[in-house]
C-alpha cells in the first residue's frame, strides 16, 4: 500500500507548550481545534493551510487589542513551531 504523501505520523504542533485557549475569541478557538484534529490524523497539508489562517486571524486581534501579543506569540510557537 502506497503511503499518502499528505499524511505524517509526526506531531504537527508543540504539545509541550501549555496554553489555555478558553479566553481567546471564538474563531481562534475553532481554528485551533481544527488544527488539533488535523494533527490527530497527521494531515500536514491542511494543517499548514489552516495555520496560515490562524496566524492572520490572531494578528488582526492583536492589532485591535483583543488578544495580547504574548497570546499571539504563544499561538505561533505552539501551533507554528516557531523556535
Model pLDDT for residues 11-53, shown as the tens digit of each residue: 999 999 999 999 999 999 999 999 999 999 999 999 999 999 9
73 pLDDT exceeds 80?
A: yes
> Rounded to whole angstroms, what are the CA distances from 2 to 6, 7, 62, 83?
12, 12, 43, 33
* Radius of gyration, CA atoms only, the chain: 13
C-alpha cell at 31: 481554528
Instruction: Tell me what pLDDT residue 82 has.
Output: 59
Is residue 10 a contact partner of residue 78, using CB atoms and an 8 Å limit?
no
Strand partners, 43: 7
**Please, where are the H alpha helices in 1-83?**
26-41, 44-63, 69-80
pTM of the shown model: 0.91
Amino acid at each position: 500500500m502506497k503511503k499518502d504523501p499528505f499524511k505524517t505520523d509526526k506531531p504537527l504542533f508543540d504539545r509541550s507548550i501549555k496554553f489555555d485557549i478558553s479566553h481567546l475569541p471564538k474563531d481562534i478557538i475553532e481554528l485551533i481545534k481544527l488544527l488539533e484534529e488535523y494533527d490527530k490524523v497527521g494531515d500536514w497539508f491542511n494543517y499548514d493551510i489552516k495555520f496560515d489562517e490562524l496566524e492572520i486571524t490572531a494578528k488582526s486581534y492583536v492589532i485591535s487589542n483583543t488578544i495580547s501579543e504574548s497570546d499571539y506569540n504563544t499561538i505561533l510557537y505552539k501551533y507554528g513551531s516557531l523556535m
